[in-house]
Amino acid sequence: MDRNAGSAETAALSQVQGTIGHPAVVKAARGLSLFGEHSAGWFGLGLLGAALDRRRRRDWLLASAGVVAAHGASIAVKRVVRRPRPDDPSVRVLVGTPSKLSFPSSHATSTTAAAVLFSGLTGRKLVPLLVPPMLLSRLVLGVHYPTDVLAGSALGGLLGALLRRRLERK
């Protein structure tokens, strides 16, 4: 049983699943989960950017490495914090996970880092387009608490902004 059973976070998670956890949304969330696993999808997009934008190839490669580094940072924090994933009868876990650790969400971390970094390289505002769906997907799938995704996004945003600033100064 979840140590936070009955908590506001568990109630919020259950509410999200009950409100938007329809089959089509769950299917899309599973797709996002697969894409974001170990930051592989974002890394692949960064490599594609490097292949297509030869003038800024080095920047794309550094941004891609930054996305992977952000993912690694989230794993390090998970191992220190050791918060277990949601485990409450009111929450359905709808996808497998590589670990039983929840805080912060690595998907949220790498997605936000990618959105920040790739925004700088594409000149488009990608954060509002990419981040909310990934964060919501982790809740719909029942594998993270709301604070897990918020903390992961904050970590990814910070790390992405630091690297983006460095890329823009050169």
For residues 116 and 69, the answer to whether their CB atoms sit within 8 Å is no
pLDDT in tens, 99-158: 999 999 999 999 999 999 999 999 999 999 999 999 999 999 999 999 999 999 999 999
Category of 7 on φ-ψ map: left (φ > 0), alpha (ψ -120 to 50) or beta: beta
Residue-wise pLDDT tens digits, 4-45: 445 899 999 999 999 998 999 999 999 999 999 999 999 999
pTM score, whole prediction: 0.91
At 54-112, the pLDDT tens digits run: 999 999 999 999 999 999 999 999 999 999 999 899 899 999 998 999 999 999 999 99
Contacts of 53 (CB under 8 A, 6+ apart): 60, 121
Q: Is the pLDDT of residue 1 over 80?
A: no
Distance, CA of 54 to CA of 40 (rounded, Å): 21
Greater pLDDT, 151 or 167:
151
Q: What pLDDT was estimated at residue 166? A: 85
Every domain of the chain and the residues it spans: 8-169
- Reduce the DSSP state of residue 101 to 3 states and report it: strand
CATH for the 8-169 domain, from 1.10.606.20, 3.30.465.10, 1.10.3720.10, 1.10.10.10: 1.10.606.20
